[in-house]
Amino acid sequence: MSDLFDVVGCATSMAKGKTTTTLVPTGGGSNSLRTTIPMWIVQQFGMTAGSKVEWRLSAENGQMSIHVTPAEVE
């Protein structure tokens, strides 16, 4: 586990949880963009190539946020 985390019981709290990544084109004529999931997040959630993430947009107090979470395996 990354040294960015303190484990308390079965809960994990992030001590420093901020990384900035850059969006790049996916290629092939698509308007979609992609970015890299930072290694500390990959390790925290046990992600591997082929893992899925869920994207959710929310609006609160006049500000929009994007929430990205590991997708539930069906």
pLDDT tens for each residue of 31-64: 999 999 999 999 999 999 999 999 999 999 999 9
State which amino acid sits at residue 61: N
pLDDT value of residue 2: 43
Q: Which residues are registered as beta bridge partners of 12?
A: 7
pLDDT for the residue 11: 47
For residue 40, the SS3 value is helix
Q: Are 43 and 51 in contact (CB under 8 A)?
A: no
Burial class (CB in 10 A: 0-12, 13-18, 19+), 66: exposed
pTM: 0.67
For residue 17, how many other CB atoms are within 10 A of its CB? 13
Residue predicted with more confidence, 4 or 55: 55
Q: State residue 14's pLDDT score.
A: 52
